[in-house]
Amino acid sequence: MGTTYSITLTGRVRLRELQKIKAAVELELANINAQMSLWQTESEISRFNRFQPLEHFPASYEFAKVVERALRIAEITDGAFDPTVKPLIDFWGFGSGQKSNLDHKEASNELARIMQSVGWKNVGLSGTTLYKKDKHLQLDLSAIAKGYGVDTVADKLRSFDQKNFLVEIGGEIVVSGHNRERMPWRVGIEAPNGNGIFRTLELSGRAMATSGDYRNFRTREDGTHFSHIIDPKTGKPAETDSASVSILADSCMDADAIATALFVMGSKKSFQWLETQPKIDAFIIIHSTKGTFTTRATDGFPSKPAPIQNAPF
């Protein structure tokens, strides 16, 4: 997935068992890469992106599962999350080997052409069979696949009867049980200005994902920055008051995609949407004046140590 992963376990685990766990986890991650990596030319997603319109594409159960959830989140966020933005990501220079078109004079005409093939409603899914309604349509699951990977690794650890762990892939996490001090896991939210950790919280039994404009960006000729997160409705880098959106959910797959959607929405619309989603909690860092930040969080976002869930002592 073009990033790193880490797993922390607590409790006594024999070395031989630990080696089995590591091998099983790496096999799961290799399978996910083979399904959803845009950097592998023969991955499932790469082959689907080369597929012709209306041809039936037989997908693996896992790939179809992630596409199905991506389309569902696109629907409930009114397209703020859209898994068909790959041509836009390439256009703005965030794809494999791509250069930004931001300063090209003819860019607006090219952008308008690309926008004609972007739209989650142009993906068909029936069971594990996919098809596209436009020959130029291409999927990009980068904003949900990492979260899915975290969930998958967590499930694999549970299959080895591990109950106390922290799984992290590229900053997205799932925590279960307790740390070695028999306390909830302590995790941090990065400061958007790069000055360390903005906030720490203690979690158990939940997933967290964060999207922001401070890690992956490009610079215009006039020196201003634009984010890698694309607004599917405008086709342009999202212009939002949010600097960082952290989501807590039952699954990291959902948290990953929803963090992207809420970043695109901006803080006001995000909290209107969150009122309809009682199982989702959010902490948003908002751009303020002169490079400062304000924050806003849902009532359920931890402001003090959280109780341990399902933690055997």
For the stretch 33-79, pLDDT in tens is: 999 999 899 999 999 999 987 789 999 999 999 999 999 999 999 99
- Residue 89, Cβ neighbours under 10 Å: how many? 20
Q: Are 302 and 285 in contact (CB under 8 A)?
A: no
- pLDDT at residue 276 is higher than 70: yes
Give the model's pLDDT for residue 92: 86
Beta strands 129-132 and 165-169: pairing type? unpaired
Q: What confidence category does residue 226 fall into, taking pLDDT thresholds of 50, 70 and 90? A: low
**From edge to edge, which strands make up the β-sheet containing 242-249?**
5-9, 165-169, 172-176, 206-212, 242-249, 281-287, 293-297
pLDDT tens digits, one per residue of 160-189: 999 999 999 999 999 999 999 999 999 999
pLDDT tens digits, one per residue of 105-120: 457 788 999 999 999 9
- pLDDT at residue 236 is higher than 50: yes
* Residue at 140 is within a domain: no
- The larger pLDDT score, comparing residue 221 to residue 40, is at 40
Tell if the pTM clears 0.85, that is, is over it. yes
* Residue at 41 is within a domain: no
* Residue at 96 is within a domain: no
Q: List the CATH number of the domain containing 266.
A: 3.10.520.10
- pLDDT at residue 311 is higher than 80: no
pLDDT tens digits, one per residue of 127-136: 999 999 898 9
Q: Taking residues 250-277, what's their average pLDDT? A: 97
Residues spanned by the domain of 200: 164-297
- The larger pLDDT score, comparing residue 113 to residue 102, is at 113
Contacts of the segment 290-299: beta carbons below 8 A, 24+ positions apart = 291/193, 293/192, 293/193, 293/198, 293/243, 295/199, 296/267, 296/271, 298/271, 298/274
Choose among 219, 220, 216: nearest CA to 230: 216
* Residue at 244 is within a domain: yes
**Cα 7 to chain center, whole Å?**
18
Q: Are 235 and 118 in contact (CB under 8 A)?
A: yes
Cα gap 156→99, rounded to integer Å: 38
- pLDDT at residue 145 is higher than 80: yes
- Average pLDDT of every residue of the chain: 89
Q: What confidence category does residue 312 fall into, taking pLDDT thresholds of 50, 70 and 90? A: very low
Q: Is the dihedral of CA 56, 47, 212, 302 positive or negative?
A: positive
Cα gap 287→290, rounded to integer Å: 9
User: In percent, how much of the chain has pLDDT > 90?
Assistant: 72
* Residue at 159 is within a domain: no
Q: What confidence category does residue 100 fall into, taking pLDDT thresholds of 50, 70 and 90? A: low
- Residue 150, Cβ neighbours under 10 Å: how many? 27
* Residue at 309 is within a domain: no
Q: What confidence category does residue 27 fall into, taking pLDDT thresholds of 50, 70 and 90? A: very high
Residue with tokens 């899914």: 125
| Beta strands per DSSP E along 29-95 | 57-58
**Looking at the 3D structure of the chain, how many domains does it have?**
1
* Residue at 310 is within a domain: no
- pLDDT at residue 196 is higher than 90: no
Helix 252-265 to helix 61-76 angle (10° resolution) is: 30
Q: Taking residues 274-283, what's their average pLDDT? A: 96
Q: Are 300 and 283 in contact (CB under 8 A)?
A: no
Assigned token pair, 218: 């490009």
Give the model's pLDDT for residue 224: 52
Tell me the HSE value of 2 on the side-chain side, using a 13 A CA sphere: 13
* Residue at 213 is within a domain: yes
Residue with tokens 């401070």: 214
Cα gap 101→92, rounded to integer Å: 6
